[in-house]
Amino acid sequence: MTLSVCKFGGSSLAGAEEFQKAAALLTADGARKVTVVSAPGGRGGEKVTDLLIKACFCAKKGTDYRKTLEAVLERFLEIKRGFGLKFDVEGEIARLAENLPALPEEYAVSRGEYINARLFAEYVGRPFVDAAEGMVFSYCGRFDREATRAALTAALEKTGGFVLPGFYGGYPNGRIRLFPRGGGDITGAEAAVALSADLAENFTDVPGVLSADPTVVENPAPVEKMTYAQLGLLSYFGAKVMHECAVSPLAERGIPLAVRGTFTPECKGTLVSAEPPCKDVVGIAGMCGFCVKKAVFAPNSPVHNPFDGLGAEPLGDHGSMYLAAGECARIFRTGEGEHAVVAAVLGRNFNAAAARALSALPVVPCAVFLSPACGYAAFVLESGDYSAAVRALYSALIESENRPAG
């Protein structure tokens, strides 16, 4: 029988109503034996993880943190009371409140996933496996895939299926170690690798990977199929799809990833695999609010990495550099205001698609970087031009490709 490891994000498990929808998805497919659970999302307010971080900050400063923990308690009680669950949420939060100033922050912050997973496991009637024992770190701080494989394989053989909290793991002595923020995606991917799953599923509040930022483009088209590298690029350039560190473990093992909507089960979602899509353009992503370190972008100058200011590693060969809008030089200096990057992730026919991307921004002055090797065209521009650039690229690249002929 096939095995699927499915991860539910915070928006998919934000309250009692969301629990019901997630549980229905589990029962709809018998292959979904392992479930990774996030802490409750914002629901229009603060996320539970943010509240726990805030409480830890207050405890360090010696200011009142109990009201913040009361807000955390109320979020979980809404779920507990909604289904008449027995897990002692009140006791967990009371112990946290009593000992918070002395507790390691990583332990306190991880309680959002821990408690939500305990509640969800009870609700769906499946065993709970603590990630402190199932997701193993060595004492030097490295994630230990071999130890994790042994622990999760033993848990699956014993239980036949279980619920696992995301976002954290543990050292051999049981001390909590957090993944980076958004690390529930990493938990899901690494659990799929450890168990040699046939499929990893990531359930979120949108019906798959969207081809552009929905806060900028109204109802952007979903992406039906893409490669691991293309998903990694979109994540790298700011798309809030999946943590970029969660993509490579799946790619290395060739485990397909399905990104689906918890609230739109009728939609197919996005399938991510090694097979390239039959599309010239996959999607558009970007971000605002950083300064570019390199001083000058000019024709025939050495090719620089335009993303040094993001604190990320270079993607590799950045190809040729061009200037758009007829400018002879475009100067960006650290500290001279915020800038944005917008990138089009391209598939087939790179040169033709890149030419369309270049011509889409006739009135937006920017530095343009084309990378055939990596498959993207990136535009560094002033933050004020961000939304206009996204919409222009979407209209020229995505809408035109989806528009019926004639």
- pLDDT tens track for 12-40: 999 999 999 999 999 999 999 999 999 99
- pLDDT tens track for 289-311: 655 444 333 333 333 344 333 33
Q: What is the mean pLDDT of the chain?
A: 84
Say yes or no to pLDDT of 133 above 50: yes
- pLDDT tens track for 220-255: 988 999 999 898 888 878 787 788 789 999 999 999
Q: Is 150 exposed, middle or buried (0-12, 13-18, 19+ CB in 10 A)?
A: middle
Spell out the domains of the chain, with CATH numbers in brackets: 4-205 (3.40.1160.10), 281-402 (3.30.70.260)
Virtual CA dihedral for 159, 108, 48, 63, nearest 10 degrees?
160
Handedness of CA 327, 329, 334, 335 (dihedral sign): negative
CB atoms inside a 10 Å sphere around CB 122: 16
Distance (Å) of CA 34 to CA 4, 189, 192, 225, 263:
7, 12, 9, 24, 20
Residue 10 zone, left/alpha/beta (φ > 0; ψ -120 to 50; rest): alpha
Compute the distance between CA of residue 68 and CA of residue 54 in angstroms, rounded to an integer.
7
Say yes or no to pLDDT of 314 above 50: no
Q: What is the pLDDT of residue 47?
A: 95
* pLDDT average, residue stretch 39-64: 93
Q: What is the pLDDT of residue 363?
A: 56
The model's pTM is: 0.84
* Side chain identity at residue 388, one-letter code: A
CA-closest candidate to residue 152, choices 200, 118, 196: 196
CA-closest candidate to residue 319, choices 372, 258, 242, 279: 372
pLDDT category of residue 315 using cuts at 50, 70 and 90: very low
* pLDDT average, residue stretch 61-81: 96
Q: What is the pLDDT of residue 305?
A: 41
